[in-house]
Amino acid sequence: MILVLGLAGTIWGIGALTGMPRQARWLMLALLYIAVLALHLALPDGHGLRQATGGSAALWLLLGGAGVLVLIYRRGLMALRARARRADEPAPAPAPAGGLSDTELDRYARHIFLREIGGTGQRRLRRARVLVVGAGGLGSPVLLYLAAAGVGTLGVIDDDIVDVTNLQRQIAHADDRVGMPKVFSAAAAVRALNPHVTIRPYHRRLTAEIAGDLFADYDLVIDGTDSLAARRIANAACVARGLPFLSAAITQWEGQISLWHPASGGSCYACVFPEDPAPGLVPTCAEAGVAGPLPGVLGSMLAVEAVKWIAGAGEPLRSRLMIYDALYGETRVIALKRRPDCPVCSGTA
């Protein structure tokens, strides 16, 4: 008996000194107990090993039974204490109708105070699904402001990675994320800003083959890309599915923005821009430069128009093109008309 207890103490002590987990030490003691019982059952009475380990299996069976009772008592006591702690904790407040928790009501209070948005508009934002094409200069402020506004689901598609030259204007990205795909960098920024928003990053190029199925999961598509080809693909896919298409473009000190939605009587992008400009006529930001805050201005306008459209507030920029000249502080709005012979939207309602 003393031999077994001494061996058990040695096992526990060596395990403690070597940092062995408690669970592993208890397992080794259990194996020792089973080995002792096996010896008593296998060896005849009077054998030296049986005498050295207590002489009878009955003593070990009683000891094992007592250990099991102690273990059951401990587990039951722990369960009762846990139940008592749960009973003392205040019950969580149920989420109000529309899925807005108390935390979200506080977060979006300034929206809810606005007569044009209110609780109804905020619930619409919570249920909305918005896809942003491009996670660069325009996409960055759009994603951040829509996340802050409480749009429930945000998607972003872009195949580019963060470059140090982007950081002058693409505010969703940071220096320690240079080299990371832009969609994952933007997703990290969105999650850090608002954990109540679901963000879906798509690290790929927008193509005509995937646009239809991708857009089917969203209520509104926002163009923040500098690719004319991607803009035309997005416009055609939105027309085909009857989705509103918000688009902006920038160069140097100037930008333009409009809402394209033939399904509600407006024009589509191809109605106004049926052909791409001649090569070199509209240089890219990399070729001609761009004022750092300019994409922030146009991107914020895109976010405002998105919030208005989703919440049903005010008058959207449908069939109107707003042109903003930052260098001279001028804004012009041009009325647009739908082309009856437009190859993209002429067959839609």
- Model pLDDT for residues 89-134, shown as the tens digit of each residue: 444 444 444 568 888 899 999 999 999 999 999 999 999 999 999 9
Domain boundary among 54, 87, 120: 87
Looking at the structure, tell me whether residues 35 and 114 fall in a common domain. no
pLDDT tier, 198 (very low <50, low <70, confident <90, very high otherwise):
very high
Looking at the structure, tell me whether residues 62 and 170 fall in a common domain. no
- Per-residue tokens: 161: 């990675």
Looking at the structure, tell me whether residues 80 and 171 fall in a common domain. no
pLDDT tens profile 16-44: 666 666 666 667 767 766 776 676 677 67
* Residue pair 301/248 in contact by the 8 Å Cβ criterion: yes
Domain boundary among 61, 87, 113: 87
Q: What mean pLDDT do residues 313-334 have?
A: 95
Quick check: is 96 in a domain?
Answer: no
Q: Find all residues with CB under 8 Å of 42, minimum gap 6, and list them.
A: none
Quick check: is 349 in a domain?
Answer: no
Looking at the structure, tell me whether residues 158 and 259 fall in a common domain. yes
pLDDT of residue 95: 45
Is residue 46's pLDDT more than 60? yes
- Per-residue tokens: 75: 């587990």
Structure pTM?
A: 0.70
Looking at the structure, tell me whether residues 25 and 155 fall in a common domain. no
Residues 234 and 222: their CA atoms lie apart, in Å, by 9
pLDDT of residue 72: 79
* Residue pair 285/137 in contact by the 8 Å Cβ criterion: yes
Residues 204 and 121: their CA atoms lie apart, in Å, by 32
Phi-psi group of 97: left, alpha or beta (phi > 0 → left; psi -120 to 50 → alpha; rest → beta): beta
The type of residue at 225 is T
pLDDT tens profile 228-252: 999 999 999 999 999 999 999 999 9
* Residue pair 214/157 in contact by the 8 Å Cβ criterion: yes
Quick check: is 98 in a domain?
Answer: no
pLDDT of residue 336: 93
Q: Greater confidence, 88 or 329?
A: 329
Helix (H, G, I), strand (E, B) or coil at 282: coil
Residues 132 and 180: their CA atoms lie apart, in Å, by 18
Q: How many structural domains comprise the chain?
A: 2
Quick check: is 345 in a domain?
Answer: no
pLDDT of residue 66: 72
Please say whether the dihedral angle defined by the alpha carbons of residues 286, 289, 293 and 296, taken in this order, is positive or negative: negative
Residues 287 and 339: their CA atoms lie apart, in Å, by 33
- For the chain, give the percent of residues with pLDDT over 90: 62
pLDDT of residue 69: 76
Looking at the structure, tell me whether residues 293 and 145 fall in a common domain. yes
Q: What is the CATH number of the domain that holds 258?
A: 3.40.50.720
Quick check: is 343 in a domain?
Answer: no
Quick check: is 340 in a domain?
Answer: no
Residues 132 and 182: their CA atoms lie apart, in Å, by 12
pLDDT of residue 94: 45
Quick check: is 94 in a domain?
Answer: no
Looking at the structure, tell me whether residues 229 and 133 fall in a common domain. yes
Looking at the structure, tell me whether residues 145 and 62 fall in a common domain. no
Strands (E), 219-298: 220-223, 245-251, 254-260
| Helices and strands (H, E) in the chain, number of each type | 14, 8
Looking at the structure, tell me whether residues 170 and 80 fall in a common domain. no
Looking at the structure, tell me whether residues 71 and 194 fall in a common domain. no
Looking at the structure, tell me whether residues 70 and 145 fall in a common domain. no
Domain boundary among 63, 87, 111: 87
Looking at the structure, tell me whether residues 255 and 306 fall in a common domain. yes
Residue numbers of the domain that contains 20: 2-87
Q: How many other CB atoms are found less than 10 A from the CB of residue 45?
A: 9
Quick check: is 27 in a domain?
Answer: yes
pLDDT tens profile 154-197: 999 999 999 999 999 999 999 999 999 999 999 999 999 999 99
